[in-house]
Structure 1
């Protein structure tokens, strides 16, 4: 049977109470006065057992109450499961608890911070179905006016949009109020890339001072591996005989005090990386260095890491960054991030990961090796 699209009722009501402290609601005798009270609506919703009625009050006009009732009926026709008691705070808290087992620790920490520091204070008291694009737009405008960085703000709204998308998929909402949020995109920062001569000078500086991370930086520059992939590299994933290594782990910082191993950043990274002569030699030197550390250490925790602290524990990413900054300054080179080492400007720019043929990967790393060797020769 076809349902009545206008079913339910819109009525005047107020918050006055009788002598027994019971609400008058629509029966208040003062409602005969035009300025007394407000408007509400009631709609019976489908239920498997007893009748379930949704009532909402506090609307300033009859038109506003009628519009809200129409929204409820529209949601029902769209198959959306309404719960007028669930707030945005309730939903976001439950969403993160459900989502956490599928997220990486860094993502969980970031989402938790956005929820408790930004989203719940801004929208938490609003009923989930009443959250609108205007609410989100006002929040963005307020944050930008207060000097909030657009990159951080974009990530915050992305977290909200992800949560609301799940609500849509689970038939809790008919639309995503954060989907079309407009946040100005900051200008792309200019990427600082070293020339071949600069990369060569940096590696020579590392060798001159016999820095303990010299071979780590050599491997990153010669292979294009990410910092986390290099720090997460295990000897079990290195095949020196085949001149290749496999990226199976990445080390990530969970917070300022601890790190953990995760799967690589992208599926394309979970493949083999060809080794040039320089990368091969760097790994051999690192193995010899590590064996000396093991003999010198009183208590060495062998985690099979290629690059580790003298006690075998994983290196801290901040420690690597500090070394890079000091060595870069000593070599008189422009400052770069650790991540930028993989974007160096050498003779051939190639994707070194396994979707290429072995010959193409070999050609790419060998071209990098040859360019660095030529730069070393010129400097000598």
Structure 2
């Protein structure tokens, strides 16, 4: 051992897992220690250093990760093994269950099948880019065998297969990249990786979804066509006060004050882990009391009367959920069925086919065009900050501002090209 190199104490026996440092024939120092792996097992790994001190520092770092419950990244650890650990230990305890469900689906259906076998330490931006670029060309129905679970064979499972070309959209692919970035950044933060390869990947187009909203004329046309629909009040609430789909379906009569013209958003209905559940709203700011416009009070009053009639007709079969929007037997409404009903409604109203969530964007756009200030729109939509509101609807705000500035034309005389004789 070279002069000045500290040596470990020889007066005691090393504890199990403490590690052992020795000098190799090539002059480097090596330490071996048993650590936990992502799959919950134990494995002996080695760390190296040019000096005893360097090797000891690496050993201490590994032992510190072990004490914190962080799995060791070995040369054999795959992306799939790490993603499993990330979902279980990092993502699931810290996010809403509905968000976790989308993350789990992204990992299970796309990330693991696509790059799960690659070694975590060897993952490069080129690997990620090639995988993402290929996703848009692969039919997901074929890749995931969706037809196998269907009672009635479609496309791939027909006697004469016919590909339905169920390709992932650009927003879906960008979502996968965001999930992978978050997972790899956690690995960097825990000193499992030195860099986040996913941050080096850029996809075509913007990560920001272009919001689609109804014009005032389209909104009136939609509500006119929905007037006789038993869930007319649902579409009216979503459009008038910008409730999210889950928030509207989770709204209870106990949270609606028709006399005081206000409602309180406390919970949302989602399908989670195969069952319909009432969950906390998206953020702390989402839980708030919203004023109701007078016409909406009349709509909800009429809806309440119709629901009481349905309750009387159902008799003992009625499910007393206390929800504002229910099935004809009082049960919660399947969110996917709302999507189908809304698509049919848009077709009947002869308006652009948009998502149910775009009724929320329509609410914001219509408020801005009516001259409502951004701070008020923020409170109605219950965004976490004013920056979220202005950032999301920047194009709408700029358009309204241009229209307002154009009105200054009234103060200027019209150009007169005629010359006085």
Q: What TM-score comes out, normalization by structure 1 length? A: 0.67
State whether structure 2 residue 206 is matched by structure 1 residue 220: no
Secondary structure at the aligned position of 1:259 is classed as: strand
Q: Distance in 1 between matches of 2:325 and 2:114?
A: 44
Asked whether the equivalents of residues 261 and 297 of structure 2 are also in contact (C-alpha less than 8 Å), the reply is yes
User: Which position in structure 2 is the counterpart of 1:261?
Assistant: 278
1:291 to 302, 308, 313: 308
Question: Alignment RMSD, CA only?
Answer: 3.9
- Residues 58-114 of structure 1 deviation map (CA, whole Å, 9 limit, x = unaligned): xxxxxxxx9xxxxx9799399465542533322221221223243334433333333
User: Which position in structure 2 is the counterpart of 1:45?
Assistant: 31
User: Which position in structure 2 is the counterpart of 1:251?
Assistant: 269
**Taking structure 1 as reference, are residues 138 and 46 closer, same or farther at Cα in structure 2, changes over 3 Å only?**
same
Runs of 4+ in 1 over 6 A off after TM superposition: 72-75
Asked whether the equivalents of residues 247 and 281 of structure 2 are also in contact (C-alpha less than 8 Å), the reply is yes
Q: Distance in 1 between matches of 2:262 and 2:318?
A: 27
1:201 to 193, 197, 221: 221
Structure number with the bigger relative contact order (C-alpha 8 A, sep ≥ 6) is: 1
Q: Comparing 298-307 with 134-143, which one deviates more in the overlay?
A: 134-143
Asked whether the equivalents of residues 32 and 47 of structure 2 are also in contact (C-alpha less than 8 Å), the reply is no
User: Which position in structure 1 is the counterpart of 2:177?
Assistant: 157
Q: Structure 1 residue 274: deviation in Å?
A: 0.6
Q: Distance in 1 between matches of 2:23 and 2:101?
A: 44
User: Which position in structure 2 is the counterpart of 1:91?
Assistant: 82
Asked whether the equivalents of residues 174 and 207 of structure 2 are also in contact (C-alpha less than 8 Å), the reply is no
Q: Distance in 1 between matches of 2:211 and 2:99?
A: 25
Q: Structure 1 residue 233: deviation in Å?
A: 0.6
User: Which position in structure 2 is the counterpart of 1:339?
Assistant: 357
Q: Structure 1 residue 158: deviation in Å?
A: 1.9
**Taking structure 1 as reference, are residues 187 and 314 closer, same or farther at Cα in structure 2, changes over 3 Å only?**
same
Q: Distance in 2 between matches of 1:149 and 1:335?
A: 17
User: Which position in structure 2 is the counterpart of 1:121?
Assistant: 113
Q: Structure 1 residue 272: deviation in Å?
A: 1.1
Gaps of 5+ in 2: 7-21, 36-43, 66-71, 139-166, 385-421
**Taking structure 1 as reference, are residues 42 and 247 closer, same or farther at Cα in structure 2, changes over 3 Å only?**
farther
Q: What TM-score comes out, normalization by structure 2 length? A: 0.62
Secondary structure at the aligned position of 1:179 is classed as: helix
Asked whether the equivalents of residues 47 and 55 of structure 2 are also in contact (C-alpha less than 8 Å), the reply is no
* Paired positions, count: 308
**Taking structure 1 as reference, are residues 130 and 337 closer, same or farther at Cα in structure 2, changes over 3 Å only?**
closer
Asked whether the equivalents of residues 271 and 277 of structure 2 are also in contact (C-alpha less than 8 Å), the reply is yes
User: Which position in structure 2 is the counterpart of 1:17?
Assistant: none
Asked whether the equivalents of residues 89 and 125 of structure 1 are also in contact (C-alpha less than 8 Å), the reply is yes
